[in-house]
Structure 1
Amino acid sequence: MALHLTVDPDAPEPPYEQIRARIAERARSGALPVGYKLPTVRGFAEELGLAANTVAKAYRALEADGVVETRGRNGTFVAAPGDTAERETAAAARAYAERAHRLGADRAAALAAVTDALRAVYGD
Structure 2
Amino acid sequence: MATSQVETVGSGANKLKLAAAVLLLLAGLVAFYWLGKQGALVQWGALLAALVAAVVVFFSAQTGRDLWAFGRDAWREVGKVVWPARKEAIQMTAYVFAFVVVMALFLWLTDKTLEWFIFDLILGWRK
The structure in which a higher percent of residues are helix is: 2
TM value normalised by structure 1: 0.29
The structure in which a higher percent of residues are strand is: 1
TM value normalised by structure 2: 0.28
Bigger CA radius of gyration: 2
